[in-house]
């Protein structure tokens, strides 16, 4: 079936998109439900907002630079270090979270803005491009994933996603056609 600029996609392309979308739906539900169940067993909240975009990159775009294990691990590690440093510098180590207080203080806004800026700077310098790391540092500096069980939970969730998602993706990846010798 031939299409022109204003036509809809051929039926085969739509089937491929629906199949790929269904694959992502099933994998993400299984992954995050499993991670959440582990959190429930250990008594920590492990499902945090940084897991969604991390899971998406690892499941939907496993060959992208952002989904490389080096980028993901380095990115989140840098984000945690920067977030904790900003909590300390701004004197927010034991300050209530923005969620609990229902507003940000000036110090929290400063810590949040600086932590994201520093994280992005370090991701660029270290060539560890992983956008969800910015959410990680923001969760820490907002106090939502503060030092103690909230931080341990977030780190546990990240570790599980970083280990399990690539395995799930590889096990369910669509078959790529073999290239003829000499094809690039």
CA distance 105 to 82: 19
Question: Distance (Å, rounded) from C-alpha 129 to C-alpha 122?
Answer: 9
State the pLDDT at residue 179. Answer: 52
For the chain (length 184 residues), average pLDDT per consecutive 10? 53 88 95 96 93 95 92 96 97 86 90 98 96 96 92 96 94 68 45
Instruction: Report residue 23 as tokens.
Output: 């694959």
pLDDT recorded at residue 5 = 52
Q: What are phi and psi of 64, to 5 degrees?
A: -75, 155
Residues 6+ apart with CB under 8 A from 94: 146
| Helix or strand (DSSP H, E) at 160 | helix 149-172
Looking at residue 9, its pLDDT comes to: 57
Which pLDDT score, from 0 to 100, does residue 130 have?
Answer: 95
CA separation, residue 49 to residues 14, 80, 107, 166 (Å): 30, 14, 22, 19
Confidence at residue 164, expressed as pLDDT on a 0 to 100 scale:
96
């Amino acid at each position: 079936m031939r299409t022109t600029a204003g036509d809809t996609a051929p039926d085969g392309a739509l089937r491929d998109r629906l199949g790929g979308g269904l694959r992502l739906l099933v994998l993400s539900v299984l992954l995050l439900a499993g991670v959440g169940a582990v959190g429930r067993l250990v008594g920590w909240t492990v499902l945090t907002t940084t897991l969604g975009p991390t899971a998406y990159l690892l499941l939907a775009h496993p060959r992208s630079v952002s989904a490389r294990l080096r980028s993901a691990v380095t990115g989140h590690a840098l984000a945690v270090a920067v977030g904790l440093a900003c909590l300390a510098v701004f004197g927010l180590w034991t300050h209530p979270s923005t969620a609990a207080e229902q507003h940000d203080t000036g110090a929290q806004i400063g810590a949040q803005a600086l932590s994201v800026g520093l994280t992005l700077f370090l991701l660029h310098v270290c060539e560890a491009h992983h956008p969800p790391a910015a959410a990680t540092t923001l969760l820490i500096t907002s106090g939502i994933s503060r030092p103690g069980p909230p931080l341990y939970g977030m780190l546990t969730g990240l570790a599980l996603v970083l280990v399990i998602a690539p395995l799930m993706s590889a096990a369910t990846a669509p078959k790529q056609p073999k290239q003829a010798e000499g094809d690039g």
